[in-house]
Amino acid sequence: MWRSRPPLALAWLLPFALIFGGFQLAPLGYVALGAFRVDDGWGLDHFREIATSPFYRQAIGRSLEIALVSSAAGLIVATLACYGLTRAGGRIRRVLIAFTNMTSNFAGVPLAFAFIILLGANGTLTLALERLGLVDTFNLYSRGGLMIIYTWFQVPLGILLLLPAFAGLRREWREAASLLGAGRLDYWRHIGLPVLWPSLMGTLTILLANAIGTYATVFALVGNNYNLLTIRIANLVSGDLFLQPQLASALSLVTVALLTLMTLTQQRLTRGRSTCG
């Protein structure tokens, strides 16, 4: 063991502790306390307000809705794509994986802008579809439009998270199953999917958290006009009208609680099974 005096070595940790404490942990602590802070002391008033306000309940509902729909859709598409990728030739697969990696970096404001170009009111694809008579009008700035964008950015992330698990599926298992008389569907039902299950649930949880935390893309697209948790929180601390940081803190805690609940559910659902990949 190499030596230096422990106190001296620990002094090297101090600057990092100050910055990380001050700009990551302290804000979280402040939010956790602020949520219970009311004019004359402490209380649950902000949570009561959230629970009784149709506006905030709608924000929670819509956040959950868009997260569940886009994560489920994203997971299904990503699973199919991973299946396709494992069957594609080595070279094509490498190109497609590199491309997936690239699209997973395309997020936030640039992504919103690209979708305006493609599917906005005068978007190239919107016009093409309208001309072909496939759609009457398409509104990107609506619930349906947001679902499409969310699903779009969930798919590459899902593919990158699931690929290692698919790589862990042994070719011999399929051969053994087939020797024992199992068809393709039997293989997936009794071997493939059960083996993938922990990874699928883990990926789903990350996708859900990703969707619930999303702010930049929606804000760039519809500003404050679509009622979501992150949009409400940001509006309460940076809007033009009167600010309510304590209510924002309470909503933040609700968000964190939802994320925690999802993680715990996932751990329960996959308990006793090892994660592969």
Site for another protein in 191-230 (CB under 8 A): 209, 212-213, 215-216, 219-220, 230
> Based on the number of CB atoms within 10 Å of its own CB, is 236 exposed (0-12), middle (13-18) or buried (19 or more)?
buried
Is residue 183 within the footprint of another protein (CB under 8 A)? no
Beta bridge partners of 41: 38
Which tokens go with 173?
């298992």
Is residue 127 within the footprint of another protein (CB under 8 A)? yes
Is residue 23 within the footprint of another protein (CB under 8 A)? yes
3-state SS, residue 38? strand
Q: How far is CA 175 from CA 125, 195, 197, in A?
A: 44, 16, 21
The residue range among 53-61, 111-119, 134-142, 196-204 that interacts with another protein, by the rule CB under 8 A, is: 111-119
Which tokens go with 61?
């509902």
CA of residue 202 relative to chain centroid, distance: 12
Residue among 96 and 269 whose Cβ is closer to another protein: 96
Total of residues contacting another protein (CB under 8 A): 96
Looking at 68, 69, 72, 114, which residue binds another protein (CB under 8 A)?
114
Looking at 39, 98, 181, 185, which residue binds another protein (CB under 8 A)?
98
Is residue 137 within the footprint of another protein (CB under 8 A)? no
Looking at 7, 15, 54, 272, which residue binds another protein (CB under 8 A)?
15
Q: Output phi, psi for 180, to 5 deg.
A: -85, 5
In the complex, minimum distance from the CB of residue 197 to another protein, in angstroms, rounded to a whole number: 19
